[in-house]
Amino acid sequence: MNEKLTDEILAKYYVEKFPMDYFMSFVGLSNFQNREFGFVVGDNRFVRNISFSNTDKLKDFMVQNSVQHAYVGAVYDKPPSRENPIQRIKWKAREFIYDIDIDEYDLVRTCGCHGDVYCKDCWSLVQEAASFIDKTMKEDFGFKEVIWFFSGRRGVHGWVMDKITHDFDQAQRVAILNYLTFIHDEKRSQSIEEIPNEAKPLRNRIYALVAKAYLDRATPESLKELGISTRKANEIVARIKTFENFDHNDYNILIPNDTIIRRKLSSEFILQRYPRIDRKVTMDTRRVSRMPYSIHGKTGQIAIVIKDIDNFYPDSAPTVWDTMM
Ligand SMILES: [Zn+2]
């Protein structure tokens, strides 16, 4: 961020530029007054249990309170407020959300980046994760629409828009999450589950996307460390980039038919390139998450819709200053 995010620029954005109608197309008008909002205001104070009777009042709040970060939460049976905090009212609905942050990959990033820092090389992990989850939601679960938003700093949020998911309770969300999970205890033991033969679409997608991305970056040396012969390692590296639509059949032909090698290789590509999802965000139905098109108070960037995740790089997202030009 090269300029200071002043109260004036924040207010000016929410008065003149914030696309309220577009924002409302994501959160829906029904039950708007029962929707929880949360904000980081002024000198870093986090306030939540706030709701608005209409969008003008939401806008007025953001204009008047020097909002550094804005978050939207679940819908309840009555308007959340200080008198009726969310713990004391009945939960009704919430979008089904995935959160992918680049710092979740710190243990396996080899480019030298860590924390909030990213480069084109490691950002591809976030892009691959979003594509993988997007396809899995649509092809394996039959959901119609997932919208991806830039989080404003170092990651992306995927919102499943299908109404049926909004009623999912925590157990249902966890069940879907578990179907997708292959790395356990991500920050420590990082134990890797075997790819299941029963879940065929998922298994095939892992080979087509995750194994392919890993093999595209493999060297003969890295493959030899997994027990693959020199001749075969050279062949894999030479041939992998020639496939147009790499799938599990290609994988079976290309990789030696040796159980131990295959187990080592699949553990390795899952460890290195499989999606790392922030589980708490998906599970916790009462959590608030960044409001689409709000400003990220640390970067000044806007949490825009990502139309094409394969070609989206965070530096290309507009800042609040860009919107004023
Ligand atoms: Zn990097």
- 109 C-alpha to ligand 1 centroid (Å): 7
Query: Are residues 10 and 139 located together in one domain of the fold?
Result: yes
- 120 C-alpha to ligand 1 centroid (Å): 6
Residue whose C-alpha is closest to residue 270's, from 180, 171, 182: 182
Query: Are residues 159 and 221 located together in one domain of the fold?
Result: no
Domain count, the chain: 2
Query: Are residues 197 and 54 located together in one domain of the fold?
Result: no
CATH number at residue 138: 3.90.920.10
Residue that has been written with the tokens 């639509």 in this structure: 245
- 317 C-alpha to ligand 1 centroid (Å): 18
- 176 C-alpha to ligand 1 centroid (Å): 30
Query: Are residues 191 and 325 located together in one domain of the fold?
Result: no
Q: For residue range 47-106, list pLDDT tens digits in order.
A: 999 999 999 999 999 999 999 999 999 999 999 999 999 999 999 999 999 999 999 999
- 155 C-alpha to ligand 1 centroid (Å): 13
Q: For residue range 139-189, list pLDDT tens digits in order.
A: 999 999 999 999 999 999 999 999 999 999 999 999 999 999 988 877 777
- 118 C-alpha to ligand 1 centroid (Å): 4
Query: Are residues 258 and 142 located together in one domain of the fold?
Result: no
The per-residue pLDDT of the chain, averaged, comes to 94
Q: For residue range 253-309, list pLDDT tens digits in order.
A: 999 999 999 999 999 999 999 999 999 999 999 999 999 999 999 999 999 999 999
Query: Are residues 68 and 139 located together in one domain of the fold?
Result: yes
Task: Using the 3D structure, point to which of 258, 273, 288 is the last residue of a domain.
Answer: 273
- 110 C-alpha to ligand 1 centroid (Å): 7
The sign of the torsion formed by the CA atoms of 275, 279, 283, 288 equals negative
Query: Are residues 53 and 172 located together in one domain of the fold?
Result: yes
| Residue 175 identity (one-letter amino acid) | A
Query: Are residues 51 and 111 located together in one domain of the fold?
Result: yes
- 153 C-alpha to ligand 1 centroid (Å): 14
- 93 C-alpha to ligand 1 centroid (Å): 37
- 272 C-alpha to ligand 1 centroid (Å): 13
Would you state the pLDDT for residue 2? 57
Residue numbers of the domain that contains 75? 1-179+275-325
Q: For residue range 16-41, list pLDDT tens digits in order.
A: 999 999 999 999 778 999 999 999 99
Question: What's the CA gap between 319 and 299, in Å, rounded?
Answer: 8
- 240 C-alpha to ligand 1 centroid (Å): 23
How many residues appear in the chain?
Answer: 325
- 102 C-alpha to ligand 1 centroid (Å): 9
- 99 C-alpha to ligand 1 centroid (Å): 19
Strand locations in the chain (E): 35-41, 45-50, 67-76, 91-93, 96-101, 146-150, 155-160, 183-184, 191-192, 289-290, 305-306
Query: Are residues 294 and 169 located together in one domain of the fold?
Result: yes
Query: Are residues 269 and 280 located together in one domain of the fold?
Result: no
Task: Using the 3D structure, point to which of 233, 249, 273 is the last residue of a domain.
Answer: 273
- 103 C-alpha to ligand 1 centroid (Å): 10
Query: Are residues 174 and 236 located together in one domain of the fold?
Result: no
Residue-wise over 153-174: b if at least 16 C-beta within 10 A, else e? bbbbbbbbbbeebbebeeeebe
Query: Are residues 96 and 121 located together in one domain of the fold?
Result: yes
- 111 C-alpha to ligand 1 centroid (Å): 5
Q: What is the pTM of this model?
A: 0.95
User: Is the separation of the CB atoms in 97 and 290 below 8 Å?
Assistant: no
- 122 C-alpha to ligand 1 centroid (Å): 4
Residue that has been written with the tokens 């087509």 in this structure: 208
Q: For residue range 200-219, list pLDDT tens digits in order.
A: 899 999 999 999 999 999 99
Task: Using the 3D structure, point to which of 273, 289, 313 is the last residue of a domain.
Answer: 273
